[in-house]
Structure 1
Amino acid sequence: MSLIIRSLSYTHPDGEKLFHELNLTLGKGEKAALVGLNGMGKSTLLQLMAGTILPTSGEIMLSESCWYVPQHLGQYDHLSIAEALKIDVKLNAMQAILNGSIDPVYFTDLDDDWEIEEKAEMALTKWGLGHFSAHQFMGSLSGGQKTKVFLAGIEIHQPRIILLDEPTNHLDTNSRKMLYDLVTQHQATILTVSHDITLLNLLHKTFALSQTGIEVFGGNFDFYLEQRQEKVNALQAKLEEQTKTLKQSQQKARDMAEQRQKKEAKGKSAGQSNSLPRIVAGRLKSKAEQSTAKVLDAHHEKISGLAEHIRETRSQIQQYQALHINIAASHLHHGKILIDANNVNYGYHGNTLWEALSFQVRSGDRLHIEGDNGAGKTTLLKMITGAIEPTEGQYMSPDFSYLYLDQDYTMIKPDLSLYEQVQKYNHDGLQEHELKSLLIYSQFSQEMFDRKCIGLSGGEKMKLALCCLAISKQAPDMLILDEPTNNLDVQSLEILTSAVKNFTGTLLVISHDQHFIKEIGVTSQISLTKNSLHL
């Protein structure tokens, strides 16, 4: 076996217990996905495997060399490319030796890896980073370039175990294809955390992480979804049976209560008519009341137990089922020209992004803006939203309302609590219990209402953003999405996909996630390249 986890437990420094007695086994050469809700600890589990943090208890055994491609959120910006690739010590030793040093320490550090410079250069060039110096800081790179640096480490170190944490985040289409080929062709054992459905379907096993532990599915992501739906169907049938039994028990309890009242009334009547001696009638009455009370107590206990089972079953169903949230659209008639651009361009320091760029956007259009990293996609969105004006050409656009969701969901304010955030969008004066009901529907527990938004995961921010939109009842003419699927877990991606798919207004989306683009029903595309545009 390449990777074995036994009785693994982990508690956050703040005291929150994340894992308890986890077990996982991955064989040599196996390729598996690790899926689960945001906040379940998928990234933390990979960090534990990579050794960047230590478990509270339990064992992690890796039988071979390992390389970890992390999800980066700015924590590596202070490192050089060489430091991120863990080759800085070797490069420094190589340079010292070339400068004439015969210090044994440098030879020990180099470890006979005399081709380290060439290997690093070839690996970086393969991922389109050959023009960067190994001494350049990671903070100067784009998100996609940072991901490529860590992917280049696979080529340099040739590990036998590869841990990938959201490796397609920020990658353009061509780079994603390179990653897919790597995963398919590499002989290493691979464990991947990702929301990229195409990538997940290349893997032969799926581990589902939840509050109850890890469940193993012997197939790719589509197989996992099928199995999950079968579980939902079985739970739904179980829920229906439980609900039926509960109703029958409640009816039986009501019938018994009515019978008791009738018997009590009859006994009272018999006592008053003196048909039985008073002491005998009293004893019979007391005995009947005690017997009926015991039966009723037993039924009430059964009803209470059934109700608890129903709550548990509903909770299980909620874990598997995706939340449904609708984004309302305005009633703007289809076909109205919202944007009319003729020979527009935008320049930085005299350099323009594109050649003459001309296009129209009409209400009802569903446009995908596509292009490699650095092609100016986000700049085009800024032009469309009026944040910047073109430096060349004619750009005409009537006033229209739009909703802009970026990959960081910046509409969510980190210093506000969840309840304060939704209250900010409460333009119709909904009552407190109504707001809290909507938060609960959006899969936020009561314990989270006072928690600051700064601690939310990507998926939680997305669900809170959609909850805010539902509360505000905002109906935009245009929905604009800029890499909205980054940092989402698979179930959160399902929620977003469903909401966008059902949105009937105008849609503009930047995304390299081809599965997402296909699912949301894009009808046309703008492909941007440096100094050129293809409609």
Structure 2
Amino acid sequence: MTNSYIALEGVSFVLPDGTPLFSQLNETFDSRPTGLVGRNGVGKSVLSQILAGKISPSSGRCTRSGMAYYLAQQILYPPTAKVADLAGVRPIIDALERIERGCVSAADFDMVSHHWDIRQRLQHELEQCELGHVSATTLASQLSGGESMRVALIGAWLSEADFLILDEPSNHLDRAHRKVLIAQLQRWQAGLLVVSHDRELLESMQRIVELSSIGLNNYGGNYSVYKQLKSQEVQLAQQQLEQRKHERQREEKNLRDQKERLEKRQSRGNRHGREANQAKILLGGQKQRSETSAGKLNQRQLAAHELLNQRVRDAANLVEENVAIVVHSLEVNVPSKRQVAVLHEVQLPFVPGLLSPLNLAISAQQRIGVVGRNGCGKSTLLKVLAGHLQPLRGVCQVPHGVALLDQHLTNLDPQRTVLEQMFKANRTAGEADLRMRLAQLGLDAQKIQIASGFLSGGERLKAALACVLYADPTPQLLLLDEPSNHLDLPSLQALEMMLRSYQGAMIAVSHDEVFLNNLNLTGRLSATDSEWQFQVW
């Protein structure tokens, strides 16, 4: 294992509108495989780009021991992009082709360096990742989301970087390739930072670092260790805050009592002086001494108040500014035996292979998990059920209300605000109610009034989810395609809780086995190489 490192020294970042995203971060990321976690919108992707040298911090500095390779969570490419572009080796291949045509440019030789076999190495990695049917010149647009991510990960392995920084690398990968990814990361010998909410992937890390409103916190150990330590830390911080508040309340009462005793002594002294008919000069001196004592007491009490308030502020600074994520239960009044969808001898479009026709009757209150390799037709099945696609053969009947949340969030217009789109989805609810529901998902007043395209990946998913879940009328059949992608852990747990109590029918496509296990599924639909298999639980 190398001695790769990336160090943050007083790093802060301010958004273009002047809002501070995070400030004064100090941390060293060494060769230990590390998971970076945190809530949606807290700045994980921005921080990972700073660590990789893609963007500069607003203040402070970031130093690294060598080359860092960054893989973004959203793989964006133009329509003409090819597999070589996704893998990040297109410049090397282009330089190699120019040299082969007789070019003697020093820049091309520098670009190729020792990578004279880059085309062979790329094709070998493609075959190892079960992508032997594509080549460096294959158009990226012909790949599925999972295939695109696998090609992008191949680029990471070929980079020979001193430090890999991967942002949500397991998104869109099927179950088998998530296991392959974990195995590959365990073999990686250089520095590694993985930004993720994937609990199984985080379990394979050697330490977890969390970015929150109070900065970066380092937890030794994997996700299970982090979860236990984090729970204890939150509890202790809250207890300390309550203790400091109680101490302030008690001491403030003591200060009030002390002041009242002084005022009573002064009142008695003034009354006694008048009754004893003392000379005015003596009374004046007594009054001056009394006022001096009162002034000194006031100064001491102001200092004591400030000290007490500061102790409360210090304790409060250790408590994260985390608002509980709430996903409201959906009221669906459908008889449990009513069928909400029927598939009869359905052959799906765009699905290669020999999958047998699908026959399935779905009744209300059924919760079905759909699993299978990338490209087997899981997303296509949901689109057919939603009426967005027609089957090649067979009949699909969905007589009642259906709502689809696809993995590309096509129900969300990136040019329009979240609030506008919520009004469109639900015209009966009042604005205050819609704002409240969005706020409880972690979308504050500012974020719901900007174009949704400017939100983070997790925030866009929450917005799209809200437009589906809180639509009027409430869907009787809920179709979810990889809903756990991009969601932070508190939001994911809140979604799981709501879906467990959802009384309508639900079909969830997911490669996240932990997520599926937490839904209290009533059955599982699996796509094998030759047929669909449905198992009732």
Structure 2 length normalisation: TM-score?
Answer: 0.81
What is the identity, as a one-letter code, of the residue corresponding to 1:518? N
1:86 and 1:101 map into 2 onto residues whose CA distance is 22
What is the identity, as a one-letter code, of the residue corresponding to 2:377? G
Shift of 1:32: 0.4
Q: Is the 8 A contact 1:459 1:488 kept in 2?
A: yes
Partner in structure 1 of residue 5 of structure 2: 3
Q: Residue 334 of structure 2: SS of its match in structure 1?
A: coil
1:133–1:437: structure 2 CA closer, same or farther, 3 Å change rule? closer
What is the aligned-residue identity percentage? 29
What is the identity, as a one-letter code, of the residue corresponding to 2:430? L
Greater alpha carbon shift after TM alignment, 101-110 vs 156-165: 101-110
1:362 and 1:426 map into 2 onto residues whose CA distance is 25
Q: Is the 8 A contact 2:206 2:222 kept in 1?
A: yes
Partner in structure 2 of residue 176 of structure 1: 178
What is the identity, as a one-letter code, of the residue corresponding to 2:27? L
1:361–1:312: structure 2 CA closer, same or farther, 3 Å change rule? farther
1:24 pairs with 2:23: no
Partner in structure 2 of residue 380 of structure 1: 381
What is the identity, as a one-letter code, of the residue corresponding to 1:346? L
Partner in structure 2 of residue 270 of structure 1: none
Shift of 1:532: 2.2
Shift of 1:148: 1.2
Aligned partner (choices 337, 349, 352) of residue 335 of structure 1: 337
Deviations 1:444-486 (A, max 9, x none): 4454454333322232234445666787675432322111122
What is the identity, as a one-letter code, of the residue corresponding to 1:141? L
Flag structure 1 segments of 5+ consecutive residues without an equivalent.
Answer: 264-283
Q: Residue 123 of structure 1: SS of its match in structure 2?
A: helix
What is the identity, as a one-letter code, of the residue corresponding to 1:406? D
Shift of 1:219: 1.2
Aligned partner (choices 217, 221, 238) of residue 219 of structure 2: 217
1:55 and 1:190 map into 2 onto residues whose CA distance is 21
1:308 and 1:361 map into 2 onto residues whose CA distance is 60
Q: Is the 8 A contact 2:10 2:23 kept in 1?
A: yes
Q: Is the 8 A contact 1:327 1:470 kept in 2?
A: no
Q: Residue 45 of structure 1: SS of its match in structure 2?
A: helix
1:22–1:248: structure 2 CA closer, same or farther, 3 Å change rule? closer
1:358-507 matches, within 5 Å, as 358-400=359-401, 402-424=402-424, 427-428=427-428, 430=430, 432=432, 436-448=435-447, 450-464=449-463, 475-507=474-506
1:38-437 matches, within 5 Å, as 38-75=40-77, 79-99=81-101, 106-241=108-243, 319=321, 322-347=324-349, 354-400=355-401, 402-424=402-424, 427-428=427-428, 430=430, 432=432, 436-437=435-436
1:240 and 1:404 map into 2 onto residues whose CA distance is 45
Deviations 1:401-454 (A, max 9, x none): x3432334444443444544555566455364x555555444344544543333
Shift of 1:343: 1.5
1:118–1:248: structure 2 CA closer, same or farther, 3 Å change rule? same
Shift of 1:384: 1.7
Shift of 1:235: 3.3
Q: Is the 8 A contact 1:81 1:149 kept in 2?
A: yes
Alignment RMSD (CA, Å): 4.4
2:175 and 2:12 map into 1 onto residues whose CA distance is 36
Shift of 1:381: 1.1
Shift of 1:218: 0.7
Q: Is the 8 A contact 2:477 2:504 kept in 1?
A: yes
Greater alpha carbon shift after TM alignment, 175-184 vs 356-365: 356-365
Q: Is the 8 A contact 2:346 2:394 kept in 1?
A: yes
What is the identity, as a one-letter code, of the residue corresponding to 2:205? L
1:346–1:240: structure 2 CA closer, same or farther, 3 Å change rule? same
What is the identity, as a one-letter code, of the residue corresponding to 2:494? I
Shift of 1:376: 1.4
What is the identity, as a one-letter code, of the residue corresponding to 2:406? D
Q: Is the 8 A contact 1:31 1:205 kept in 2?
A: yes
Q: Is the 8 A contact 1:339 1:361 kept in 2?
A: yes
Q: Is the 8 A contact 1:7 1:57 kept in 2?
A: no
What is the identity, as a one-letter code, of the residue corresponding to 2:455? L
